[in-house]
């Protein structure tokens, strides 16, 4: 997938639509963009560009709405090419490390505090696991702040993932998580999870290996969540080196 097939204007509009949708959770219309950003192009021109982005598979139009929402392909392109780099504030880095530092010699407490620190930092649900079967989660209540999880079928499907971690582990085993990996949309076989996203990265600490994950809606703020997950993976690798 590449932005090479898109014009500069289409790239700018796609990025704008995705970032506005992440914040609002409401389909984005041409009129909304024209009014909010004082664009020097007409709403009709924006509608035409949106239609082209739909044709190319990067946007979708809910049948009851005049606005547009990102498709799975749109999110992928945004993450890979359009998203701007985000540096974690130093105070957040310090807070995350302090929250786990005192537990570094007791593996279960350490991993549990890592999950808790990650959910606090992201405002979403976090999971920290090891390949020998330890699984710690935190922040389930956080996802209930997002309208996607008002649907009981979606929340039930997420709880099932946590209760049956082997389902999630099977998905991870099919992917290279050495670097940041994002699982979203139809990559989850269960339809109730198509509005869900997992950002994950593996870690190696001494003799232990595992994954750090954040789970939330597909419209999560990837430019903030991705570096936060990556940083926590680094903390586990650094502080768990003597396990």
> Do both 111 and 203 map to the same domain?
yes
Distance, in Å, from the CA atom of 11 to the CA atom of 28, rounded to the nearest integer, reads: 15
Check pLDDT > 80 for residue 1.
no
Q: pLDDT band for position 122 (50/70/90)?
A: very high
> Do both 25 and 141 map to the same domain?
no
pLDDT digits (tens, 9 = 90+) for 95-114: 999 999 999 999 999 999 99
Total-model pTM:
0.93
Token code pair at residue 52: 């082209």
> Do both 217 and 170 map to the same domain?
yes
Check pLDDT > 60 for residue 2.
no
DSSP H helical ranges for the chain: 8-24, 30-37, 43-55, 72-77, 90-101, 107-122, 140-143, 152-163, 165-173, 222-239
pLDDT digits (tens, 9 = 90+) for 142-195: 999 999 999 999 999 999 999 999 999 999 999 999 999 999 999 998 999 999
Check pLDDT > 70 for residue 202.
yes
Check pLDDT > 70 for residue 243.
no
Q: Which of 82, 102, 127 is the last residue of a domain?
A: 82
Residue 180, helix vs strand vs coil = coil
Give whole-number Cα distances, 84 to 37, 80, 131, 148, 157, in Å: 18, 10, 33, 25, 32
Check pLDDT > 70 for residue 219.
yes
Q: pLDDT band for position 5 (50/70/90)?
A: confident
Which of 75, 34, 55, 33 shows the shortest CA–CA distance to 216? 75
pLDDT digits (tens, 9 = 90+) for 6-38: 999 999 999 999 999 999 999 999 999 988 998
> Do both 159 and 66 map to the same domain?
no
Distance, in Å, from the CA atom of 35 to the CA atom of 33, rounded to the nearest integer, reads: 5
Distance, in Å, from the CA atom of 226 to the CA atom of 222, rounded to the nearest integer, reads: 6
Whole-number pLDDT of residue 3: 58
Which of 100, 142, 120 shows the shortest CA–CA distance to 237? 100
- Mean pLDDT, the chain, rounded, equals 93
> Do both 73 and 108 map to the same domain?
no
Range of the domain at 12: 3-82
pLDDT digits (tens, 9 = 90+) for 36-85: 998 888 889 999 999 999 999 999 988 776 789 999 999 999 999 999 98
Whole-number pLDDT of residue 242: 64
- CATH number for the domain including 63? 1.10.10.10
Q: Which of 82, 109, 125 is the last residue of a domain?
A: 82
> Do both 15 and 74 map to the same domain?
yes
> Do both 159 and 218 map to the same domain?
yes
């Amino acid at each position: 997938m590449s932005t090479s097939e898109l014009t500069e204007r289409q790239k700018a509009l796609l990025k704008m639509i995705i970032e506005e949708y992440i914040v609002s959770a409401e389909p984005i219309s041409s009129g909304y963009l024209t009014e909010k950003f004082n664009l020097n192009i007409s709403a009709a021109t924006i509608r035409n560009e949106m239609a082209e982005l739909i044709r190319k598979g990067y946007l979708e139009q809910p049948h009851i709405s005049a606005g547009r929402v990102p498709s799975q392909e749109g999110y992928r392109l945004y993450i890979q090419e359009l998203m701007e780099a985000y540096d974690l504030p130093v105070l957040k880095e310090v807070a995350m490390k302090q929250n786990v530092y005192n537990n570094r010699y007791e593996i279960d407490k350490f991993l549990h505090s890592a999950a808790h620190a990650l959910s606090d930092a992201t405002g979403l649900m976090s999971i920290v696991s090891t390949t020998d079967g330890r699984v710690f989660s935190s922040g389930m209540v956080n996802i209930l702040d997002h309208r996607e999880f008002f649907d009981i079928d979606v929340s039930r499907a997420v709880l099932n993932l946590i209760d049956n971690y082997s389902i999630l582990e099977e998905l991870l085993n099919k992917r290279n998580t050495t670097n940041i990996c994002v699982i979203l949309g139809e990559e989850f076989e269960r339809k109730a999870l198509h509005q869900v996203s997992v950002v994950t990265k593996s870690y190696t600490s001494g003799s232990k290996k595992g994954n750090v994950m954040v789970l939330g809606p597909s419209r999560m703020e990837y430019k903030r969540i991705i570096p936060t997950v990556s940083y926590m993976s680094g903390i586990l690798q650094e502080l768990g080196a003597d396990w």
